[in-house]
Structure 1
Amino acid sequence: MQHVCKRFICNKVEPALESARKWVEQLDIRKVPINLFATRFDRASGPGGQNVNKLNSKCTLTLYNFSNCSWLPEGVRVQLLQKSRYYAQSSNSVVIQASESRSRETNKQLALEKFVNHIKEVCWFPRPTGDTTLAKWEQIKRNSHEKRLNNKKMHSYRKKLRKSKDFF
């Protein structure tokens, strides 16, 4: 119970985390610097007839040296390093692929969109706790303390009853 209370009673959020949360909220596909990504086009699998065998339309975007990427805030980078399914630890890079379309440019835009949506899904930042929630948890804390003291008193009372009394 104490662990939960401590987690919810934090009323201050670090400024770096707050700025990272705002950065994620404002993140848009147009704000992603495409020049940081290495772009590669390969042959896609799936439907498309002979067009699949002739054209390289699958887009693979790779962001090398991801752990030192200055474009992403530190809080976002740390969470992506831990939780991202696109992060390749062996090469310290993020690899995103898209092959839904027959067009190279469309697949490139889809890969960027996939990356932005993944950042928004994975990253979570705590918000300051409201006054009503703080009051609620303080009340819960007080009630549990009172209940514990009452249980101790009852236990003590039962033990006193067990002691032998001189009736004669």
Structure 2
Amino acid sequence: MTIFMGKFKLAGHFLMLSLQQTLRCKEQRFVEETVRLISNGKVGKKSDLVQARSWVGALNVTGLPSNQFILRYDRASGPGGQNVNKVNSKCTLTLPGLSNCTWIPQEVRNILRSGKFRYYAKSSDSIVIQSDETRSRETNKLKCVKKLVQEIQQTCQFPNETTAETAKKWTKIKEKANKERLLEKKVHSDKKKNRGRITSNY
């Protein structure tokens, strides 16, 4: 009975150590990832990330280069009476070759092509937006452009620029976490070395 209880306690002890080690590893990876993102050589200067954030913030309907887009008008479907069958009011706005659109910052293009942007067609590397909400071609065109601007601003969210002081703070946190991890590792190793076998009392 003593052997059984001893083995049960030992198994529980190993389980707790394993759980603690897993949590420490996750915490360590989080700290390292945070430090890597902050200390990426862009601190204290106007980086591409800052330029992309400024570009997205200043984006508006009138600021888009119209010569970069392809417009097509087709007959709409749905309610609207005979108008939808006679007038090409449905507007399709296409931006081809998104990867080569240098007027869009690279950081923004990366996000739009990552799968988070609902209007991006990966097969053709283009942005396609449609609108047939009204009977007016110009109104539908304006709605397409507004959809594009709003969706870009909602999809492209950038963190604020990190100061050198904050980066230094996270570096210290990483160093402290490393020291604690090595100390825990040494303590655990010493416990294993000093651990004796469980003996029977009968």
Classify the TM-score, shorter chain.
Answer: 0.7 to 0.9
Name segments (4+ residues, structure 1) moved above 6 Å.
none
Moved more, 106-115 or 28-37: 28-37
Q: What is the TM-score with the length of structure 1 in the denominator?
A: 0.78
Q: CA deviation at 1:85?
A: 2.8
Distance, in Å, in 1 between the alignment partners of 2:195 and 2:96 is 74
Match of 1:27 among 39, 49, 59: 59
- Give 5+ residue unaligned stretches, structure 1: 164-168
* Cα displacement (A) at 1:132: 6.5
- Report the equivalent of 1:61: 93
Match of residue 116 from structure 1: 149
Shift of 1:128: 3.1
RMSD: 2.9
Q: 2:196 and 2:167 mapped to 1: Cα distance? A: 44
Contact 1:17 1:75 in 2 (8 A): yes
User: How many residues of Structure 1 are paired with residues of Structure 2 in the alignment?
Assistant: 163
> Do the aligned partners of 2:112 and 2:120 also contact (CA within 8 Å) in 1?
yes
1:7 is aligned to: 33
TM-score by length of 2: 0.67
Q: Give the alignment partner of residue 103 of structure 1, picking from 136, 139, 142.
A: 136
Cα contact 1:86–1:95 (8 A) shared by 2: yes
Checking the alignment, whether the CA contact within 8 Å between 1:37 and 1:62 is kept in structure 2 is yes
Say which of 45, 64, 68 aligns to 1:36: 68
| 8 Å Cα contact 2:28-2:177 kept in structure 1 | no
- 1:25 CA displacement: 1.1
Report the alpha carbon displacement of residue 80 of structure 1 after superposing the two structures with TM. Answer: 1.2
Pick from 180, 185, 195: which aligns with 1:146?
180
Instruction: Determine the C-alpha separation between the residues in 2 that align with 1:17 and 1:136.
Output: 20
Give the Cα–Cα distance (whole angstroms) in 2 for the partners of residues 23 and 110 of structure 1.
21
In structure 2, the residue matched to 1:87 is 120
Instruction: Spell out, residue by residue over 1:12-53, the C-alpha distance to the aligned partner (whole angstroms, 9 max, x if none).
Output: 457112111110111111111122111111111121111211
The residue number in structure 2 matching 1:166 is none
Verify the 8 A CA contact 2:32 2:174 in the aligned structure 1: no
What one-letter code is carried by the residue in structure 2 that aligns with 1:56? N
Partner SS, residue 145 of structure 2: helix
Cα deviation, residue 78, structure 1: 1.9
Q: Residues of 2 paired with 1:101 and 1:68: CA distance?
A: 32
**Contact 2:91 2:132 survives alignment (8 Å):** yes
Q: CA 1:147/1:7 → structure 2, altered by over 3 Å: closer, same or farther?
A: closer
> Is the 8 Å Cα contact of residues 8 and 129 (structure 1) preserved in structure 2?
no
Counterpart-to-counterpart distance in 2, 1:152 and 1:6: 21
Report the alpha carbon displacement of residue 134 of structure 1 after superposing the two structures with TM: 6.6
Tell me if structure 2 keeps the 8 A contact 1:59–1:98.
Answer: yes
| SS of 1:91 mapped into structure 2 | coil
Q: Kindly tell me: are residues 161 and 66 of structure 1, through their superposed partners in 2, closer, same or farther at Cα, counting changes over 3 Å?
A: closer
